[in-house]
Amino acid sequence: MTSYGRGLRGLSVATIATITVALALVFFYAPLDANQGFIQKIFYIHVPLAIVALCGFVVGGLLAIAHLRTGDRKWDLRSYVAIHMALIFGVGGLITGSIWAKASWGHWWVWSDPTLVSFLIVMLLFATYQPLRFSIEDPERQARYASVFAIVAGAFVPLNFIAVRMAQGVVHPRVLTLTGGRLPGSMGLTFAVSLLGIALLYATLWNYEIAAKRARMQLRRLRRAALGDDAAGALGRSAAPS
């Protein structure tokens, strides 16, 4: 596992340290929101989870482009893991967002808010990635079709983001804008560190899963080679004259 997980220890330490600092800032440095009070602090988890999930989907599409251009299956594996991890982070974003919505608006979900609905649409779109992928038995066709899906779906993410930003009557609070955020200095710093921590967590888990899958594939190759040698040896013994 060492050869496959090179650099993971340092990345893991950086992730733990950054998340620890982020939590300290969230609970002891960032001020309470004047309107929402303590529950607003879930913002520092919910929004980074959503941002990292969306970026993960886009990264999955970019890695899929590399696979189609080169034909190297390592890019397909990286794209698959990027989307898999983004789905997990996206589910976390949906759960924390629902908790925040219930505390702030009195409802677990608000269907009239384009931001919430558009994020759910992206999640449902990418939720079909794995069923589509594993419905194809041939490995080459599986990787190729999955890459095409990842590219098309990944391109939908920024287009969807732009469409939502242009929508009117948005209920969801706009704390981040293209021309600068509305967060005061202490809250902005806390959010930046939290976003960095969640991004490092995504990168760490991505690398761990890549290392685990590579080690598993190598183990399967060794087993097949060993079984092949044993079968050849058994055939030779059975064919030898008594």
Overall average pLDDT of the 65-89 stretch: 94
Inter-residue contact 164 to 118 (CB < 8 Å):
yes
User: How many domains are there within the chain?
Assistant: 1
Residues 227/229/233/235 CA torsion (nearest 10 deg): 60
Percent of the chain with pLDDT over 90: 47
pLDDT higher than threshold 80 for residue 169: no
In a domain, 78, yes or no: yes
pLDDT reported for residue 199: 96
pLDDT reported for residue 100: 86
In a domain, 122, yes or no: yes
Report the CATH number at residue 37. Answer: 1.20.120
pLDDT reported for residue 203: 95
In a domain, 82, yes or no: yes
pLDDT tens for residues 99-118? 888 888 788 888 877 788 88
pLDDT tens for residues 117-132? 888 999 999 999 999 9
In a domain, 121, yes or no: yes
Residues of the domain holding 184: 8-212
Mean pLDDT of the chain: 83
pLDDT reported for residue 164: 73
Cα distance between residue 90 and residue 44, in whole Å: 15
